[in-house]
């Protein structure tokens, strides 16, 4: 390969190779830092209404909340798409507002997941509301939150008795 | 009676698969011609019995045999014939049956088109594919028998999930499975080569067309899924970074790395162990994809099937396959020697970097998809990874990938002159950058840096690809089909990048409340809502919205989105209506009635979204062209070359 003239001027072949390796390593390092930052920033944690009630949910960060839409709690505003409803895990309730089109499977009594932030009045402002395609399907974390909520309820009842 | 025959056919297929995976491999080891010769008929027989089993289930669907549990769960008397046929793979059991049938189709195809292979290699390849088949048939018989009866048989069945009653989705799973399962051929070739201790350029030549076909199917399958989601889900999105989508995207990324790495192995005889590892990874990720989709471990909008026992079976199977092949790899890959040499500034290096980038992308998707699952399994909390993570990762990974795509085809094998490459490409670089940055100004009247860079990248890939093509044509060399296929696929990437850039930058979306007679203007189009009317479909009733679309005061189309109620389903279904165009889509879907004739609805303006799927079609077609290349058809030549030492082929 000595016919390739570029090797003669400038840096030696080995020097160039070292530089390329260094550049690749630098690129990989930058990419890793960026990836980890993006990853950390976009992690969405899940909180149940009870956890929110106990103050475990973060204040200025998006997260997901799941539970059953409380029967009779859905209220629409007359001239906009704003909607308000309560989410329950059978122990505690979180009020949620959302503006926009709800998924087809959104109904009272249905398990749903909402993504958004908590405001300082304890109102959950949802950017996105997810309901599952399958009407018999319950999101696993909603299912667990409901079970935990029921257990907490029972424990509270035995205490009062 | 017919369902029982289907069940028996499945059991017989299992028996054949066991024979197919045990006898030929021993034969290959002992050099016993009779045992080796059993491989091919076994493959055909397995295909026959899998076909019978599959036909039996399809028959049960067509004649409404609701005494079969699966049929009664996924079809009813009103279901149109085509959705009864596609209903077979509408859910868990049937889609596994399709998966396994697809595997036996690939096995049969390998048996048919492997006449030029050395017998021992062919025997090992078919045996490995038989082993995979055993796993899947056992899985069906033990945990998810599609032929299970129900007594008493119901008068009518449930409906297939109405979302799945769409032509796009009817053909999406078969295409996807052809891709997923197709990687089993590359996998089987890799394992067979490790077993036989013979891994050379001819090995790469044999497995290359199979891998490319599988990759083409997978590309088409993923594109169809994306198109279906866009048409059917009513959210106007084309990719959601949903775990189920990621499940098919990971094998695609590794598969793309694999077809590039195979090219180097075939042409230059290097990267052999790396190529083998990629082949193992691509198929392992296909299995992982099956696990993710079919086990119900995911919090996913796609979770149609949920059953933990099945998940455990697939997980064990996955661990067995991946564990044993990686062990085999660790043990045998030492025997693989590298024969070629290349300079660091060469096409080999460019393709190696392509592989690094593709694998990085696959890792990024892998982490984002599986980290939440692992955390959840360990009881460390429930999280999910938001879409912005994936978007920013791919914007990041796209830069080196698209930049490299300009260099790869231009650079020469073995070593190239930096000055020559720079002189050949610097003008293209400047022109595409300048043009890309100016385009947003021309299209939308304002500068936009990210859109400009995206379009510049698309232009860079497109122009460098065409420039190389014209350079070849000028030398009056007629380009081979393989080369033309590469050109088409790379142009497809350019279309895809342009489409993604335009959609992500300039799409308009509005959720709003509209009363009859109200209008809304968006990107120069006026949407006028006339109201809704009731319509009756074959198995649904619907409210049909009437939305007239005007451009410059002239009526261009009427959109008729539906809100449907299907028989046997309590919930309404949104069916959007789209005015399709090469340069833009106008999209409307109905939300819900808000009283006195008013509806909530969603309107979209989607510039150049068709280019995304057009790009995917180009990639698919490129793959198809590449495998039609005549060097894969010269079986006698291939056989002669197979008998030569690998190095001679690598240099030739």
- The answer to whether B181 touches B103, Cβ cutoff 8 Å, is yes
pLDDT (mean) for B507-515: 91
Chain B residue with the nearest C-alpha to that of A136: B304
Contacts of B410 (CB under 8 A, 6+ apart): B421, B424, B425, B464, B467, B468
A-B C-beta contacts closer than 8 Å: 104
Q: Containing domain of residue A122, as a range? A: 46-160
Q: Mean pLDDT score of chain B, rounded to an integer?
A: 87
Within-domain flag for B134: yes
Gap from A41 CA to chain B (nearest CA, Å): 8
Determine the distance from the C-alpha atom of residue A148 to the mean position of all C-alpha atoms in its chain, rounded to a whole number: 20
Say which DSSP state B68 is in: B
Domain with residue A114: its CATH number is 2.40.50.140
Q: Check if A76 contacts B (Cβ < 8 Å).
A: yes
Q: What is the structure's pLDDT at B289?
A: 86
Chain A residue with the nearest C-alpha to that of B234: A103
Within-domain flag for B649: no
Determine the distance from the C-alpha atom of residue B415 to the mean position of all C-alpha atoms in its chain, rounded to a whole number: 34
Token pair belonging to B90: 């509408």
Same domain, B109 and B159: yes
Q: What is the DSSP string of B349-383?
A: HHHHHHHHHHHHHHHHHHHHHHHHHHHHHTTS--E
In chain A the first and final C-alpha atoms are separated, in Å, by 90
Residue numbers in B near A34 (CB within 8 A):
392, 396
Same domain, A149 and A124: yes
Residue B399 pLDDT exceeds 50: yes
The phi and psi torsions of A110 (rounded to 5 degrees) equal -100, 145
Chain B residue with the nearest C-alpha to that of A17: B344
Neighbours of B169 (CB within 10 A): 22
CA–CA separation, B293 and B98 (whole Å): 15
b/e burial code for range B373-401 (CB count within 10 A of at least 16 → b): eeebeeeeebbbbbbebbebbbbbbbebb
Same domain, B159 and B102: yes
Exposure of B570 by Cβ count < 10 A (0-12 exposed, 13-18 middle, 19+ buried)? exposed
Residue B418 pLDDT exceeds 50: yes
Same domain, A51 and A111: yes
Tally of helices (H runs) and strands (E runs) in chain B: 20, 11
CB atoms B601 and A101 under 8 Å: yes
- The answer to whether B83 touches B119, Cβ cutoff 8 Å, is no
Same domain, B155 and B39: yes
Token pair belonging to A82: 């704003």
User: Which contiguous run of DSSP H or E holds residue B457?
Assistant: helix B449-474
Q: What is the structure's pLDDT at B497?
A: 97
Range with the poorest average pLDDT among B87-91, B126-130, B223-227: B87-91
CB atoms B161 and A133 under 8 Å: yes
Give the residue from B454, B471, B506 where a domain finishes.
B506
Say which DSSP state B66 is in: T
**Residue A5's pLDDT band (cuts 50, 70, 90):** very low
CA–CA separation, B324 and B327 (whole Å): 5
Same domain, A12 and A81: no
Within-domain flag for B203: no
- The answer to whether B476 touches B468, Cβ cutoff 8 Å, is no
Within-domain flag for B214: no
Give the residue from B474, B506, B538 where a domain finishes.
B506
CB atoms A137 and B303 under 8 Å: yes
**Residue B331's pLDDT band (cuts 50, 70, 90):** confident
Q: What is the structure's pLDDT at B299?
A: 45
Same domain, A31 and A52: no
Query: Could you tell me what percent of chain A has a pLDDT over 70?
Result: 78
Within-domain flag for B329: no
Residue numbers in A near B513 (CB within 8 A):
79-81
Length of chain A counted residue by residue: 161
Same domain, B4 and B123: yes
Same domain, B411 and B516: no
Residue numbers in A near B601 (CB within 8 A):
101
Within-domain flag for B18: yes
Enter the ipTM.
0.75
Same domain, B129 and B145: yes
Residue B263 pLDDT exceeds 50: yes
Query: Could you tell me what percent of chain B has a pLDDT over 70?
Result: 92
Which of B398, B412, B514, B571 is most worth mutating to test chain A (most A CB atoms within 10 A of its CB)? B571
Q: Which residues pair with A66 in a beta bridge?
A: A113
Same domain, B70 and B160: yes
Same domain, A123 and A138: yes
CB atoms B385 and A39 under 8 Å: yes
Within-domain flag for B594: yes
Same domain, B72 and B105: yes
CB atoms B163 and A133 under 8 Å: yes
Residue numbers in A near B569 (CB within 8 A):
135
Residue numbers in A near B303 (CB within 8 A):
132, 134, 137
Q: Containing domain of residue B543, as a range? A: 508-607
Peptide bond into A74 cis (omega under 30): no
Within-domain flag for B110: yes
Q: Check if A130 contacts B (Cβ < 8 Å).
A: yes
Question: Three-state DSSP class for B606?
Answer: strand
Number of domains observed in the structure of chain A: 2
Same domain, A131 and A118: yes
- The answer to whether B526 touches B550, Cβ cutoff 8 Å, is yes
CA–CA separation, A83 and A75 (whole Å): 6
Same domain, A29 and A96: no
CB atoms B381 and A46 under 8 Å: yes
Say which DSSP state B233 is in: S
Token pair belonging to B616: 């995917």
Same domain, B522 and B557: yes
Closest CA to B159 of B538, B542, B567: B567
Same domain, B134 and B115: yes
**Residue B565's pLDDT band (cuts 50, 70, 90):** confident
Q: What is the pLDDT of residues A37-89, one digit of tens each?
A: 888 888 888 888 998 988 888 888 889 888 889 999 999 887 788 999 999 98
Q: What is the structure's pLDDT at B633?
A: 65
Number of domains observed in the structure of chain B: 3
Same domain, B562 and B450: no
Residue numbers in B near A17 (CB within 8 A):
344
Chain B residue with the nearest C-alpha to that of A3: B417
Residue B301 pLDDT exceeds 70: no
CA–CA separation, B448 and A90 (whole Å): 49
Same domain, B1 and B149: yes
């Amino acid at each position: 390969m000595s016919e390739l003239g570029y090797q003669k001027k400038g840096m030696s072949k080995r020097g160039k190779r070292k530089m390329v390796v260094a550049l690749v390593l630098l690129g990989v390092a930058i990419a890793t830092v960026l990836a980890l930052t993006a990853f950390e920033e976009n992690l969405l944690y899940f909180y149940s209404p009870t956890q929110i009630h106990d103050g475990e949910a973060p204040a200025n960060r998006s997260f997901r909340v799941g539970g059953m839409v409380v029967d009779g709690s859905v209220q629409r505003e007359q001239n906009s798409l704003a909607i308000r409803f309560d989410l329950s895990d059978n122990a505690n309730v979180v009020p949620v507002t959302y503006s926009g089109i709800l998924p087809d499977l959104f109904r009272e009594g249905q398990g749903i997941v909402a993504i958004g932030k908590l405001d300082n009045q304890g109102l959950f402002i949802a950017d996105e509301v997810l309901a599952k395609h399958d009407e018999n399907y319950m999101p696993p974390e909603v299912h667990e939150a409901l079970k935990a909520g029921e257990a907490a309820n029972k424990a509270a009842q035995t205490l009062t008795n | 009676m017919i369902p029982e025959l289907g069940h028996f056919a499945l059991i017989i297929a299992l028996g054949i698969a066991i024979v197919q995976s045990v006898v030929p491999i021993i034969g290959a080891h002992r050099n016993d011609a009779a045992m080796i010769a059993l491989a091919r008929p076994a493959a055909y027989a397995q295909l026959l019995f899998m076909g019978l089993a599959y036909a039996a289930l399809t028959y049960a669907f067509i004649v409404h045999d609701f005494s079969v549990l699966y049929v009664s769960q996924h079809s009813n008397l009103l279901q149109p014939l085509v959705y009864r046929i596609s209903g077979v793979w509408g859910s868990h059991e049937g889609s596994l049956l399709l998966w396994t049938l697809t595997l036996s189709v690939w096995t049969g195809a390998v048996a048919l088109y492997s006449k030029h292979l050395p017998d021992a290699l062919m025997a090992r390849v078919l045996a490995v594919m038989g082993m995979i088949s055993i796993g899947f048939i056992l899985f069906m018989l033990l945990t998810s028998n599609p032929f299970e009866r129900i007594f008493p048989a119901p008068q009518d069945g449930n409906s297939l999930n109405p979302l799945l009653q769409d032509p796009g989705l009817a053909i999406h799973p078969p295409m996807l499975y052809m891709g997923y399962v197709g990687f089993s051929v590359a996998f089987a070739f890799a394992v067979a080569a490790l077993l036989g201790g013979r891994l050379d350029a001819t090995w790469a030549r044999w497995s290359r067309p199979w891998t490319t076909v599988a990759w083409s199917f997978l590309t088409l399958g993923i594109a169809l899924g994306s198109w279906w989601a866009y048409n059917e889900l009513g959210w106007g999105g084309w990719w959601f970074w949903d775990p189920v989508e990621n499940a098919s995207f990971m094998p695609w990324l590794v598969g793309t790395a694999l077809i590039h790495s195979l090219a180097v192995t075939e042409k230059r005889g290097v990267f052999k162990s790396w190529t083998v590892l990629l082949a193992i990874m691509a198929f392992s990720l296909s299995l992982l994809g099956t696990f993710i989709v079919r086990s119900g471990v995911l919090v996913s909008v796609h979770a149609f099937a949920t059953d933990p026992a099945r998940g455990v079976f697939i997980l064990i199977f996955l661990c067995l396959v991946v564990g044993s092949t990686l062990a085999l790899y660790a043990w045998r890959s030492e025997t693989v020697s590298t024969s070629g040499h290349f300079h660091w500034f060469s096409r080999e290096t460019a393709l190696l970097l392509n592989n690094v980038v593709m694998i990085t992308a696959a890792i990024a998707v892998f982490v984002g998809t599986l980290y939440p699952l692992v955390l959840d399994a360990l009881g460390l909390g429930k999280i999910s990874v938001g879409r912005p993570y994936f978007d920013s990762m791919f914007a990041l990974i796209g830069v080196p990938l698209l930049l490299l795509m300009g260099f790869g085809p231009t650079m020469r094998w073995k070593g190239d002159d930096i000055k020559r490459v720079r002189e050949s490409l610097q003008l293209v670089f400047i022109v595409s950058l300048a043009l890309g940055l100016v385009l947003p100004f021309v299209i939308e009247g304002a500068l936009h840096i990210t859109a400009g860079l995206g379009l510049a990248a698309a232009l860079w890939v497109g122009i460098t690809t065409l420039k190389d093509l014209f350079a070849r044509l000028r030398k009056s060399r007629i380009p081979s089909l393989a080369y033309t296929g590469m050109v088409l696929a790379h142009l497809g990437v350019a279309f895809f990048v342009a489409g993604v850039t335009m959609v992500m930058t300039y799409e308009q979306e509005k959720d709003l409340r509209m009363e009859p007679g109200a209008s809304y203007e968006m990107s120069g189009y006026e949407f006028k809502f006339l109201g809704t009317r009731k319509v009756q479909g074959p198995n649904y009733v619907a409210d049909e919205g009437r939305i007239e679309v005007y451009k410059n005061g002239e009526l261009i189309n009427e959109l008729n989105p539906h809100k449907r109620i299907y028989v046997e389903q309590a919930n309404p279904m949104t069916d959007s209506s789209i005015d399709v165009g090469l340069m833009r889509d106008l999209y409307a879907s109905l939300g819900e009635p808000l009283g006195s004739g008013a509806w909530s609805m969603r309107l979209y303006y989607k510039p150049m979204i068709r280019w995304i799927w057009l790009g995917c079609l180009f990639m698919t077609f490129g793959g198809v062209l590449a495998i039609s290349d005549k060097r894969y058809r010269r079986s006698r030549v291939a056989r002669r070359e197979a008998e030569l030492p690998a190095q001679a082929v690598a240099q030739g």
